[in-house]
Amino acid sequence: MSSGSATATVLAALGEVREWQEDFYRHLHQHPELSHQEQRTAAAVAERLRGWGFDVHEGIGGTGVVAILRNGDGPSVLLRADMDALPVREQTGLPYASTVTATDQDGNEVPVMHACGHDVHTTCLLGAGALLAGATSDWSGTVVALFQPAEELGDGARRMVDDDLAALVGTVDVALAQHVLPIPSGQVGTRPGPVLSAADSMRITVHGRGGHGSMPQATIDPVVLAAMIVVRLQTVVSRGVAPTDPAVLTVGSIQAGSKSNVIDDHAILQLNVRSYSDQTRTAILAAIQRIVAAECQASGSPKGPDFEFFDRFPPTDNDPSTTARVRAAFEHVFGDSAQDLPLQTASEDFSDVPRALNVPYTYWAIGGIDPDAYQAAAAAGRIAQDIPVNHSPNFAPVIQPTLDTGTKALVAAALAWLAKD
């Protein structure tokens, strides 16, 4: 049986899955959980997977779930979804909108919302798991369904890897993942090669010598030092990176001093860097540290700068052969709705999993915006103004055909490896 025929057979039961899937999604959207706090979500996921015959492992990397369905000889395909929500106050006005608050990692009480669509991802992977478990005569091999915590913090995948994920899942042949984006619902988008940027945030403390604002000659002014650093950093991308190699360096925060006539003894800068290759990433980060150190020396700083890295995400670089195989499966299922995905400036940590397992991977997008609303916004030239993007308090994927599309995509992609000959 070809993968296309197997996909059609497996998806024939989509209507039965849809009956519970939509309610599950609404409940998940209404009850979001912050990163590393996904206990209820993980428990609900594990319960359903056990009922379908998966071998379920909970608490991987904290709150992660790994469910394995072995169905004879054949390839092993890993399908991943993320589960965490964001500290955002929902403004969608939906009847199932979140009113949840929670305590974040810094001890602050914050609103919580699935503002990035991870509730879609979780629900779609559950649906795909149910369909594959219900049609084992049409495929052979192993399905590994990985439900990851804390994607928003960039450390959820790594924590699962560090919790001996490789030993748990065994040999895996390919890893697959998807994300809902603000494009028309019903569309799927693929892209070989770089698709999501690496992200690195950096907190830099530069040191001066404090004193009275009327006597600057007795001080080393960290505000001036910070200003010179900001100006010089503008050349890192414009003069140090090829114009054909996309990269972004943003200084998002400068903090120094507390009073107009007091020169403080230090300043803190916070930077964010986006890049699409390990080589460019390494070069930019090295340039930043070189420039900061040199400016501190030029200003006569009493000691060198301090660098702290945080919120770090790897690049997502899709394997071309794997992507072509998935794209062919999508064209069979979705026809003209299988499209090219433009390069994305967002970042995510999925690739930490296939990198650790040393397997090829691809990561694609599904649309979540009502097609009519999107078309109206496009016709008016107001997509940026009228279409909420991920992390917006108004981001709310339409339930259908978003869930159907995401579920079909996971099934079709998996069966591109698992379908019986």
Instruction: Output the tens digit of pLDDT for each of the chain's 421 residues.
Output: 567 789 999 999 999 999 999 999 999 999 999 999 999 999 999 999 999 999 999 999 999 999 999 999 999 999 999 999 999 999 999 999 999 999 999 999 999 999 999 999 999 999 999 999 999 999 999 999 999 999 999 999 999 999 999 999 999 999 999 999 999 999 999 999 999 999 999 999 999 999 999 999 999 999 999 999 999 999 999 999 999 999 999 999 999 999 999 999 999 999 999 999 989 999 999 999 999 999 999 999 999 999 999 999 999 999 999 999 999 999 999 999 999 999 998 999 999 999 999 999 999 999 999 999 999 999 999 999 999 999 999 999 999 999 999 999 999 999 999 998 7
Q: Is 83 in a helix, a strand, or coil?
A: coil
- Return d(Cα 362, Cα 318) in angstroms, integer: 5
Those residues with Cβ within 8 angstroms of residue 246's Cβ, 6 or more apart along the chain or in another chain: 197, 274, 275, 276, 343, 345
Q: Which residues of the chain are in CATH 3.40.630.10 domains?
A: 3-195+316-418
Closest CA to 341 of 195, 198, 197: 195
Q: Which homologous superfamily does the CATH classification assign to the domain defined by 3-195+316-418?
A: Zn peptidases (3.40.630.10)
In the chain, the amino acid numbered 161 is V
Global pTM? 0.92
Q: Which CATH number fits domain 198-313: 3.10.180.10, 3.30.70.360, 3.50.50.60, 3.60.110.10?
A: 3.30.70.360
Q: Which residues of the chain are in CATH 3.30.70.360 domains?
A: 198-313
What's the token pair of residue 110? 């914050």
